[in-house]
Amino acid sequence: MTEALDRQALASLLQRPELRRLLEVFNDGGEETRVVGGAVRNALLGRPVTEVDCTTTMLPDAITERAKRAGFKAVPTGIEHGTITVIIDGEPFEITTLREDVETDGRHAVVHFGRDFVRDAKRRDFTINALSLGRDGQLYDYTGGESDLAARRVRFIGEARTRIREDYLRIMRFFRFHAEYAESDPDAEGLAASGAERQGLAILSKERIRHELLKLLVATRAEETIRILADHGFLTGLLGGVAEFGRLRRVANDDRDNPVAIWRLAALAVLVEEDAERLREELRLSNDEHKKLAAYAGLLNLLKSWPLPLDATAIRRLVADHEPEALGIVFAATAGEPSPVVHEDAREALARYLSRTEPVPIFPLRGADLVEGGVPKGPKIGEMLARGRQAWLAEGCRTDESYARDLLRRVLKQA
C-alpha cells in the first residue's frame, strides 16, 4: 500500500544542529545551498537519512574557503566534479556545485558548473532523486518527483532512452532504485528503454556495475527485481551462469534485518567453485568476497551429498573446518530442498556458534607438541598433524585436556 509522504520529516531533518549550521554558513552573501537527492527522498518516505548531500551555487574553491572560515574541515573528495566534503562536528556532508551536462558519451559526462537549480535537477537520473530542500523548508520539485515518490514509482527524468544513452549505468540504477523504492511493476517506458539499450552496459567498467548490482541485491525487493532482470535478458550478461531465485528468496527472507550482498549473491549465483571464480573476475570482487563465495560453494557441495541427516555433532565437525556464517547461508538457501536434511538440534548448535555463545572447536595439537614428544622437525610433523586432525574430526572435535593428551599419545605411537 502506498503511504503519504512525511513532510514533517523534512522539518526534522533541517533541525539537525550540524546541518543547520552548514545551511546557515552556505546561504549567505548571495549564495544558495540546498539539501538534495537521497536525503530528501528518504526523509519524505520516513526512512532513515544517513547521508546528507547538498548542492550549491558556490564554486569548489569558495566552498572550501567559506568552510574554513567557519571552522569546518573541508576535504576535496571529488574536486574534478565539484564535490567538497565538509565535516561539522564529525559529521560529513558532500557539497557539490550546481552542474549541467555539456557532453555525454554513455559513461562519462563533461560538466559545467552553473547557478541553476532547475538544470541541475534535470541532469539527475530519476524524478524521485531530483528533489531539493531549501534552508527555509521549501521543497523544490522540477520534475514531478513528489507525486512519483508518493506513488512509489521510479521514473526517468525526460525521455528514458535518451537518458540511458547519456549514461548506461542508469539501466542498473533503474532496477536498483526500483528494487528499493517501487511498489508495483517497473515503469513501462523505463523498462522498455532499458531492454532496448541493454548492450550499452558492455562499455561500462565492471566496478560501476558491481556497485549497483550489490546494492540491488540488498534492496527490499531484490528477488522480484532480479527475476525481472532475468526475464529481460540481463542476467546472463551480469552473472554469466545459473540463477537460483528460490535460494535468493529464502536467504533474503532470513537476513531481511541485516542483508549482506555477497551472501545473497552466493545464494543466487553460486553452485560450484567455478562460479565463485567467474564472479570474482566479472564483478571485480575483493579477496574476502571471493573467499566467501568459494566457502559457500564448498559447503553447498559437501552438504548436498552428506549421507545422513545433520545433527549437532556433524555441525561441530563442520564449523571446525568451515566458516559458521557460510554454513548458515547454505542452510537458509537450501531450506525446503530435499537435501541436506537438518535436524533441529543442528540448527540450534549452529546458532550457538554464530552467536559465539559456544566457541568453534580448535584442533588441540601443534607441531611443538610432537617435537617435544621426540619427533624430529621436518615434513613428517605436518603429515602427523593432518592424520591426528582426521581422527579428531571423526571423534567429535573434543578439546578437553585428557582427550588432547590421549590423542597426542596415539599420534606419537603411530609414528
Q: Which is nearer to ligand ATP, 53 or 369 (CB)?
A: 53
Q: How far is the CB of 346 from ligand ATP (least distance, A)?
A: 38
Q: Which is nearer to Mg ion, 41 or 316 (CB)?
A: 41
Report the SS3 class of residue 340: coil
Q: How far is the CB of 167 from ligand ATP (least distance, A)?
A: 5
Strand 52-56 to 139-140 pairing: unpaired
Report the SS3 class of residue 6: coil
Q: What is the C-alpha to C-alpha distance for residues 228 and 95, in angstroms, rounded to an integer? A: 35
Q: Which is nearer to Mg ion, 38 or 388 (CB)?
A: 38
Residue 364 binds to Mg ion (criterion: CB under 5 A): no
Among 38, 186, 190, 200, binds Mg ion (CB under 5 A): 38
Report the SS3 class of residue 308: coil
How many of the chain's residues bind ligand ATP (CB under 6 A)? 10
Check: CB of residue 361 under 8 Å from CB of residue 320.
Answer: yes
Q: Which is nearer to Mg ion, 82 or 340 (CB)?
A: 82
Grid cell locating 33: 545551498
Grid cell locating 51: 547521508
Q: How far is the CB of 131 from ligand ATP (least distance, A)?
A: 9
Q: What is the C-alpha to C-alpha distance for residues 29 and 34, in angstroms, rounded to an integer? A: 15
14: left (phi over 0), alpha (psi -120 to 50) or beta: alpha
Q: What is the C-alpha to C-alpha distance for residues 42 and 9, in angstroms, rounded to an integer? A: 9
Q: How far is the CB of 60 from ligand ATP (least distance, A)?
A: 17
* Binding to ligand ATP, residues 220-279 (CB under 6 A): none
Q: How far is the CB of 392 from Mg ion (least distance, A)?
A: 49
Report the SS3 class of residue 100: strand
- Helices 245-254 and 222-231 sit at what angle, rounded to 10 degrees? 160
Q: Which is nearer to ligand ATP, 13 or 169 (CB)?
A: 169
285: left (phi over 0), alpha (psi -120 to 50) or beta: beta
* Binding to ligand ATP, residues 20-79 (CB under 6 A): 37-38
* Binding to ligand ATP, residues 200-229 (CB under 6 A): none
Q: How far is the CB of 211 from Mg ion (least distance, A)?
A: 11
Residue 55 binds to Mg ion (criterion: CB under 5 A): no
Grid cell locating 187: 515503469
Residue 167 binds to ligand ATP (criterion: CB under 6 A): yes
* Binding to ligand ATP, residues 120-149 (CB under 6 A): 124-125, 129-130
- Residue 289's binding partner among Mg ion, ligand ATP, none (Cβ under 5 to 8 angstroms by kind) is none
Q: Which is nearer to Mg ion, 38 or 361 (CB)?
A: 38
- Residue 125's binding partner among Mg ion, ligand ATP, none (Cβ under 5 to 8 angstroms by kind) is ligand ATP
- Residue 129's binding partner among ligand ATP, Mg ion, none (Cβ under 5 to 8 angstroms by kind) is ligand ATP
Q: How far is the CB of 148 from ligand ATP (least distance, A)?
A: 13
Stretch that binds ligand ATP, among 167-175, 286-294, 322-330, 403-411 (CB under 6 A): 167-175
Strand partners for 99: 113
- Residue 170's binding partner among ligand ATP, Mg ion, none (Cβ under 5 to 8 angstroms by kind) is ligand ATP
Nearest to 281 by CA among 382, 210, 377, 367: 210
Stretch that binds Mg ion, among 36-44, 61-69, 306-314, 326-334 (CB under 5 A): 36-44
Q: What is the C-alpha to C-alpha distance for residues 34 and 116, in angstroms, rounded to an integer? A: 12
Check: CB of residue 75 under 8 Å from CB of residue 85.
Answer: yes
Q: Which is nearer to ligand ATP, 67 or 219 (CB)?
A: 219
347: Cβ–Cβ under 8 A, 6 or more apart, which residues?
Answer: 331
Check: CB of residue 303 under 8 Å from CB of residue 340.
Answer: yes
Strand partners for 101: 111
Grid cell locating 392: 579428531
Q: How far is the CB of 53 from Mg ion (least distance, A)?
A: 6
**Which residues bind to ligand ATP, rule: CB under 6 A?**
37-38, 124-125, 129-130, 167, 169-170, 173
**Which residues bind to Mg ion, rule: CB under 5 A?**
38
